[in-house]
Chains A and B, each alone.
Chain A
Amino acid sequence: MLSRIHPLAKLVVCLIWIAVSIFVFDAWLQIFIIAMAALALIVLERRSVLLVLALMVPFALFGFGFLTTSVLFRQESDFALQMARETPLGSEAFSAGIVLFLRAIACGMVSAVFALTTDPGGLIKALMANWRLPPSIGFSLFAALQLVPDIASEAQQIRLARAMKKGRPPRRIPGPLETASLVIPLLAFAIRRATRTAIALEARGLSPDRPRTIVGAPPFRRGDITFAVLSLALAAAAIWVVIGTGSG
C-alpha cells in the first residue's frame, strides 16, 4: 500500500518523522516511531516479522555504540545527559544512552520504510518532474544503480583471477589487504564504465541544453495528500502527548 504513495510525499513525511526523532529527546516517542515503522512494513506491506527484526539489527548495532559510549564514558556524554534533563520534551524515565540507542533504530527504520516501499526509478523521475532535478544528474543516478551490481560482479572476477594466480579458491570474506588491492582496479572499472555510459547517453540524445519529455513520472493523487496530512497529524499528536506527559 505504501508503495503506491507518491515518492515525494513519502520522502517529505519520512524526513519529518526523522526530524521529530532527532529533535524530540524522548524514549517513548522513539519506541512509538519504531513500532509505527515496523507495523507499516508488517501490516501494510506484508513483510515478514523476521525481516523487520533483521532490518533492525544493523541500526541496533549502530545505536549500541551510543549506549555504550553513554554508559562507559559518562563524562564525555555530559552533553547528551544534559539534553535529557533539560529538554522540555525529555523523559527522565530513561537514560540518555537508551534514547540515543532507540533514536538510531527509529531513524533507521523510517529510512527502511522509505527504501523498501519506493521504486528508485519512480523517485528519480518524480524528482526530475517535480523538483527540477537536472536529467544529467537523474540519469547518472540511474546509471549508478546499474553500476553497483556490476562492480560487485567485477570484484568477484578480479578475486577469482588473483586466486587463480595464487592457486587456491578465494576466501569467502576478503582480508584487508585484498580489499585494499581491489580499490584501484574497481575505481578504474567504474570510471571507464561511467565514461562509456556518458558517451552512450549523449549518443542517445541526452543534452542539458534542450527540454525533454518525462514519461511515467508518478502522478500526485488525492490519496497522497490524505497520507501526508494523516502522517503529519500523527506526528503532531505524538509530540503533543510527549509534551503532555513529559516536562509539559
Chain B
Amino acid sequence: MPEGKAAAAWQDTSIKYPYQDKAAAGPLSLALEAGERLLLLGPSGCGKSTLLNTLTGLIPGTIPAEVTGEVQLFGEKVKSRPPAEWSRQVAQLFQDADQTLCGMTVADEVAFALENLGLPEGEILQRTAAAIDRVGLEPAFGVRRTMRLSGGEKQLVAMAAALAQGAPLFVADEPTAHLAPRAAERLRALLLEPGRSTSVLIIDHRLDGLIDRVDRVAVMGPDGTLVAQGPPAALFREHGELLARFGIWQPLASLLDAELASANLAASDPPLHLSDVLTHIDRLPPDARRLATGIARAFVGRRVRPAIDAGATLSALKGADCAPLFGPVVLRDVSVELRAGEVLGILGGNGAGKSTLGASLAGLLRLKGGRRSGPPGGMAFQNPENQFVTGSLREEIESATDAILTAPEREQRVATMLRRWRLEGLENSHPYELSQGQKRRLALATLTASGRWPFLVLDEPTAGLDAAGAAAVAAQVANLADIGHGVAVITHDMDFALAVCHRVVLVGEGGLIGEGRPGELMRDHALMARAGLEPPTILPALEWLERVPTC
C-alpha cells in the first residue's frame, strides 16, 4: 500500500458475503492517488461494485459482509466513521439513477447531500443552481419532479447532485450503462472534465471516449483479485491477451493495434484512438501500408454485418400506433417488418419508444391503431429479473426447454446452455443472486433453450455485459439468424448494432425517422443527431477505408 495520504486505498482487502464459500472480491491492494482518475475494469460478477461499496463502509456497515484487510480514505481508516459521515469526502454516482433519486424535485435532489451536511441555506441554493447549470440543465428544470424525467435526464440530475457535493473523491459505478450514446458522452465529459482536481474512481464497460480521460486502469480478474494496472494505452497493449481471456472490454484502437503488432506493423507508441492507428498506417512505407490496410480492412469487415437476402416475413407492423401497457400512444403510423434470417436493429435515444416498438413487434402489446401480422415472438426484457419464475438457474432453463425432450435430453440441453452462456457452476444459485451480466445471460439462455420462437426481440441485450458476454450474445444472434430465425435487437451500442444487424430502424420524434443498412444510416450525422445517437466508434475506420485504394 502506498505511503502518504492516497485518496483511497485498499490493503490486502478481501470481502466475503454471508453464507458464501468464496470471497466476492480480493484479496487485493490498490490505491488511488489524490487528483488521479482511475478506471476499474473486470469481467461481470468479479466484485468491482462490492469493492466500491467498501470505500465508505457501506460494506460491512450497511450491507453485511466479512471484510478483512484495511480500507482507507485520505489516510483515515474507513471504519472510523459511519458511512454517511464520508459524504463530505466522497460523492457517489450509482448505475441506476432511480435508486439514487428520492422522488423530489430536481432542485431538492441536488440540494439533498448539502442539506445533510448542515450547510447554510444560502450556500446550498447557490451550489444547487451552479450544479444544475454545470450539467447543462435549464434553471427551470429545478422545479420539475424527477419521476417525470427520462432515464438520461435522471442520470444527469444524479450527476448534478454528486457534483454539488464538491467532494474531493468522486466514485461512479457504471454511470452510463443505461444511457443512449449522446447522453453517455455528456456524462463522461462532466465526470472527467479536464482541470478538475477531484480524484475519480470509475467502473464502466464502455471504454471508447473514456480511456483518454483517465490516468490509470486497474484490472480485476474473475476471482476478484487485481491482475494488472497501468496507464491505459500501455496496459491494453501489454495485457491485451489477458484481458481477452478474461472477457474484458478493450478499445477498438488497442484491438487493431494488436493485430498490426502480430505482423510487426504496430506503432512504437501504443494508441488510444482509432484515428491514431489509421494515421500511423498512412505514414507507413508503401508495402507495409498495403499490408496494414489489408489487416485494417479485415478488422473492420468482421465488425460490419454484410447485407443479406432475408426470407419470409415473420412479423410485420403496418401503420401501427404503439403504446405501452395501459399507456398512451408513443409511436404513430409505424410500418416495419422482421424477416427470417434477418437481424433488425431498433435504435434511438432514451425514452424514444424502442421497447414499446419491440414488444409490439413481438405481439405482446395490443396496437392502438394499424395492424400486426405474424406469430408471437419471444422477448428478452431490459430487466432480466422479470422473466425469472423459479428458484434456480437449472430449473429456469429446464422450464424453458421443449416439452417433448426426454429427461436425459433435457439434462443435456441445460448443460449446453449453461456452458454456452458461461453460467457453469451457478446452476443451483437463485437467479436473483447473479450479477446483472449473469442475469442477462440467463434470460437469453432461457429464450434460446427451445425452438419455440420463430423470432426474438432482445431489449438492450449487451447492457452491463463484459466483452465475452457481448461476444456470446453477438454469436448467438448470428447463429439464430443463420438458422432462419428473425432477431430484433434494441440497443444503445452502435458498434454492436453495426456488427450484428443487417438492417436498422431509427426511432424518434414519435415514430420511425429512418430505416436502412446500418453502415449507411450511421454515416448520416444529422439523422443520428435527430435520434439522439452518436456514430459508432468504428466509423472513422469505415470512412478511412473508403478513401484508401483497395490494392
Give the interface size bracket for A toward B: 35 or more
**A203 vs B105: C-alpha distance in the bound complex, in angstroms?**
19
* Residue B350, interface by CB 8 Å: no
**A196 vs B58: C-alpha distance in the bound complex, in angstroms?**
11
With an 8 Å Cβ cutoff, the count of chain B residues facing the other chain is: 64
Residue pair A159, B116 in contact (C-beta under 8 Å): no
* Residue A76, interface by CB 8 Å: no
Residue pair B325, A156 in contact (C-beta under 8 Å): yes
* Residue B102, interface by CB 8 Å: yes
Enumerate chain B residues within 8 angstroms of A216, measured Cβ to Cβ: 107-108, 111
> With A202-B84, A215-B125 in contact, do A164 and B147 touch (Cβ < 8 Å)?
no
Residue in contact with A215 in the complex, picked from B88, B115, B145, B359, CB distance below 8 Å: B115
> With A164-B364, A216-B108 in contact, do A201 and B102 touch (Cβ < 8 Å)?
yes
**A207 vs B86: C-alpha distance in the bound complex, in angstroms?**
11
Residue in contact with A164 in the complex, picked from B82, B92, B376, B432, CB distance below 8 Å: B376
For the complex formed, measure the closest distance between the CB of B379 and the CB atoms of chain A, giving whole angstroms.
Answer: 5
Chain B residue nearest to A149 (CB atoms) is: B147
Residue in contact with B365 in the complex, picked from A150, A154, A169, A214, CB distance below 8 Å: A169
* Residue B476, interface by CB 8 Å: no
For the complex formed, measure the closest distance between the CB of A167 and the CB atoms of chain B, giving whole angstroms.
Answer: 5
Residue pair B82, A213 in contact (C-beta under 8 Å): no
Interface residues of A in 182-210 (CB under 8 A from B): 185, 188-189, 192-193, 196-207, 209-210
For the complex formed, measure the closest distance between the CB of A4 and the CB atoms of chain B, giving whole angstroms.
Answer: 15
**A204 vs B387: C-alpha distance in the bound complex, in angstroms?**
32
For the complex formed, measure the closest distance between the CB of A212 and the CB atoms of chain B, giving whole angstroms.
Answer: 5
**A169 vs B363: C-alpha distance in the bound complex, in angstroms?**
7
Residue pair B116, A146 in contact (C-beta under 8 Å): no
Residue pair B120, A213 in contact (C-beta under 8 Å): yes
* Residue A19, interface by CB 8 Å: no
* Residue B69, interface by CB 8 Å: no
Residue pair A196, B99 in contact (C-beta under 8 Å): yes
**A201 vs B161: C-alpha distance in the bound complex, in angstroms?**
12
> With A121-B105, A207-B85 in contact, do A202 and B381 touch (Cβ < 8 Å)?
no
**A144 vs B104: C-alpha distance in the bound complex, in angstroms?**
11
Residue in contact with A203 in the complex, picked from B83, B119, B379, B381, CB distance below 8 Å: B83
Residue pair B83, A200 in contact (C-beta under 8 Å): no
**A80 vs B501: C-alpha distance in the bound complex, in angstroms?**
72
Q: How many A-B residue pairs have CB under 8 A?
A: 144
Residue pair B326, A205 in contact (C-beta under 8 Å): no
B362-383 to A contact mask, C-beta < 8 Å, 1/0: 1111100000000010110111
* Residue B20, interface by CB 8 Å: no
B94-123 to A contact mask, C-beta < 8 Å, 1/0: 101011111111011001111111111100
Chain B residue nearest to A159 (CB atoms) is: B325
> With A143-B103, A164-B376 in contact, do A150 and B364 touch (Cβ < 8 Å)?
no
A148-183 to B contact mask, C-beta < 8 Å, 1/0: 011000101111111110011110100000000000
**A160 vs B88: C-alpha distance in the bound complex, in angstroms?**
43
Residue pair B366, A161 in contact (C-beta under 8 Å): no
A162, A168, A192, A207 — which one has the most chain B CB atoms within 10 A of its CB?
A207
B324, B366, B386, B389 — which one has the most chain A CB atoms within 10 A of its CB?
B386
* Residue A61, interface by CB 8 Å: no
Residue pair A142, B104 in contact (C-beta under 8 Å): yes
Residue in contact with A146 in the complex, picked from B87, B90, B101, CB distance below 8 Å: B101
**A172 vs B363: C-alpha distance in the bound complex, in angstroms?**
15
Enumerate chain A residues within 8 angstroms of B176, measured Cβ to Cβ: none
> With A161-B386, A215-B111 in contact, do A142 and B359 touch (Cβ < 8 Å)?
no
Chain A residue nearest to B105 (CB atoms) is: A121
Enumerate chain A residues within 8 angstroms of B386, measured Cβ to Cβ: 154, 157-158, 160-161, 185
Residue pair B119, A200 in contact (C-beta under 8 Å): no
* Residue B124, interface by CB 8 Å: yes
Enumerate chain A residues within 8 angstroms of B146, measured Cβ to Cβ: 146
Residue pair B102, A197 in contact (C-beta under 8 Å): yes
**A209 vs B85: C-alpha distance in the bound complex, in angstroms?**
10
Enumerate chain A residues within 8 angstroms of B83, measured Cβ to Cβ: 202-203
Residue in contact with A167 in the complex, picked from B103, B117, B145, B376, CB distance below 8 Å: B376
* Residue B80, interface by CB 8 Å: no
Chain A residue nearest to B326 (CB atoms) is: A156
The 9 A-B pairs with the shortest beta carbon distances in the complex, nearest first, are A146-B103, A205-B87, A205-B116, A207-B84, A196-B99, A142-B102, A145-B103, A156-B325, A204-B113
A–B pairs, 14, beta carbons within 8 Å: A121-B104, A164-B379, A167-B376, A196-B99, A197-B100, A201-B102, A202-B84, A203-B58, A207-B84, A207-B85, A210-B116, A211-B118, A214-B115, A216-B111
Give me 5 other A-B pairs in contact (C-beta within 8 A), A163-B364, A193-B98, A212-B116 excluded: A147-B103, A161-B381, A161-B387, A196-B99, A200-B92
